[in-house]
Amino acid sequence: MMNQRQHSQPPCVSLVGAGPGDPDLLTLRALRRIEAADVVLSDDLVDARVLALIKPGARLIHVGKRGGCVSTEQRFIHELMIREATAGLNVLRLKGGDPFVFGRGGEEMDALRAAGIAVEVVSGITAGIAAPASIGIPVTDRRHAPGVAFVTGHGREDGGAGVNPDWHALARSGLTLVIYMGLARVEQLVAALRAGGLAADTPAAAIAAAHTPQQRATICSLGTLAAQLHSERITSPAVLVFGTVVSLAYVQSLDYREFVRYA
């Protein structure tokens, strides 16, 4: 039987980042919220080992969103969170990585606030930092780049503002480029960056399923990336990294299971 909040407490939803995969990378606050939740609305990319931390009797609802797959409508997710919170339950919205980095956390926060529901945001480690770090790539290094840009490779299709990144400007920026959700459009992304002036021999990396037993990574160049991904059968979820920081990577190819043996 789930515990309900005291009637004197206003409804609240926690938007919690589950990090890149390994439950050891959860924050302490995220762990406490997971263990206390009555209802968990989980994204598709949350690792099964993290979901195993949910308390017995809590209800787990999968509301995942994956490119090319049947996804839960965002409006339904909003309505479900509002309904469960106003019923007095301890509601947790669990997202891979960080709730505010390509996780629609801002949209969900707005919907909850508009319904009079308080929102707590618990940050998580985003894949754009954790995936490159897993093979020794620092996304910022003063010897290589003045900063980093985190960019979506999957533009909006509803005609809204900021439909697509300005790839020409990004190519000329001198920043490390970390691209989320870019595998399906990798050939177009490479062509756009090349057209913007980024050299074909710019170091490139792809890291898939970071910080899970399925992790795979490959190092190559911008010009050879599409062919390398195909030949090594690198699949999503993955992040792409472009810039000379990639030259600091440990190895040309990595299997995360090598690390698991020492855990």
- In terms of domains, do 117 and 136 share one? no
- In terms of domains, do 18 and 134 share one? no
- In terms of domains, do 137 and 83 share one? no
- In terms of domains, do 78 and 183 share one? no
Q: What are the beta bridge partners of residue 95?
A: 17
**Residue 164: predicted pLDDT:** 80
Last residue of a domain, one of 125, 140, 174: 125
Q: Token pair for residue 47? A: 């690792």
**Which residues are identified as catalytic?**
43, 65, 181
Last residue of a domain, one of 108, 125, 142: 125
Last residue of a domain, one of 57, 90, 125: 125
- In terms of domains, do 250 and 165 share one? yes
- In terms of domains, do 150 and 253 share one? yes
Prediction pTM value: 0.86
Ordered per-residue pLDDT tens for the chain, 263 residues: 445 554 457 899 999 999 999 999 999 999 999 999 999 999 999 999 999 999 999 999 999 765 555 578 999 999 999 999 999 999 999 999 999 999 899 999 999 999 999 999 999 999 999 999 999 999 999 999 999 999 999 765 554 555 689 999 999 999 999 999 999 999 999 999 999 999 999 999 999 999 999 999 999 999 999 999 999 999 999 999 999 999 999 854 444 444 443 33
- Total number of domains in the chain: 2
Q: Is residue 7 part of a domain?
A: no
- In terms of domains, do 113 and 46 share one? yes
CA 191 to chain centroid, in Å, comes to 24
Contacts (Cβ under 8 Å, ≥6 apart) of 167: 189, 192, 193, 195, 196
Q: Is residue 2 part of a domain?
A: no
Give the range of the structural domain holding residue 196, as residue numbers without chain letter: 128-260
- In terms of domains, do 20 and 117 share one? yes
**Residue 9: predicted pLDDT:** 73
Contacts (Cβ under 8 Å, ≥6 apart) of 95: 15, 16, 17, 18, 43, 45, 46, 103, 105, 124
Say which CATH number the domain at 93 has.
Answer: 3.40.1010.10
